Amino acid sequence: MGKIIDGKAIAAEIRSEVKESVAALKSVGVTPGLAVILAGDDAASQIYVKNKAKACDEAGIYSEVVRLPGDVDERRLLETVEILNRRDDIHGILVQLPLPKHINEKTVIEKISKEKDVDAFSFENVGRIMTGHGAFLPCTPAGVIELLERSGVEIEGKNCVVVGRSDIVGKPLAMMLLSKNGTVEVCHSKTEDLAEHTKRADILAVAIGKPKFISADMVKDGAVVIDVGINRDENGKVCGDVDFERVLPKCSLITPVPGGVGPMTVAMLLKNTLAAAQMRNGTGEN
């Protein structure tokens, strides 16, 4: 029977560590600040932003939500980003995605100063990740690495298979596993005989957005399975990309959905915001 990785508990550890470091920074007169830009009234985005603000408050990080109407024009949005770029009390800027369809997301993200791009979505920060010198790491993939390392999983030398090639999760996660000396393979919707690839994985990370897509016969005995997916099954219940109940007995470690990777994303956002403030104050590395 596989052991369940408790993402909530590990995220709580990280948030506690961040809180201690924030307190130390405040003692020298610096309060880390995060600004979140929310355009429109998407229900899911509203919840995500509320949760981020709550997490910041608990960690002692100043948070500010800039709310803009759904019909905001791109020029005003870019001006908003530039104002936040110039503010000394804001160390991290996050644009809540998705943006309204008439807005070019890449254009907006590129407007964020790289020193404040705590989502690490800009071309420059992505490039730095490719070379192993990222100032910040994308929150969800970075959370996956933390889950593995804090669970005692050795990445070096292991066969790592990532199913999914998104710019936000799949691609950066592959690069991070490679930087940890894993032997990495990226699979996707066009991969032939997908099961032949996943069955070779010592570490299998799945982020494809298909409920319960990975079945037990696609998983190697004793594998570590990381499920990044968040879906709803035929009964409306939240589930991941992995058929958890059937895969659990076969693997050595597995993340549940919910309660696995999800809590880590916010924890890593706090960690990135702290790092941005430390670099600005000269106490961190650039």
Write down the catalytic residue from 117, 119, 227, 243: 119
Tokens for 54, please give them: 């709550």
Any catalytic annotation for residue 101? no
Any catalytic annotation for residue 116? no
Any catalytic annotation for residue 278? no
Write down the catalytic residue from 52, 171, 212, 271: 52
Of the CA atoms within 13 Å of residue 34, those in its CB half-sphere come to 31
Neighbours of 75 (CB within 10 A): 8
Write down the catalytic residue from 96, 111, 180, 271: 96
Long-range interactions of 180-186: CB distance < 8 A, separation 24+: 180/145, 180/155, 180/156, 181/155, 181/156, 181/157, 182/155, 182/156, 182/157, 182/158, 183/157, 183/158, 183/159, 184/160, 185/159, 185/160, 185/161, 186/161, 186/162
Amino acid code (one letter) for 74: E
What are the residue ranges of helices labelled H in 7-70? 7-26, 43-59
- Give the relative orientation of helices 43-59 and 262-280 as an angle to the nearest 10 degrees: 50
Which residues are catalytically annotated? 52, 96, 119
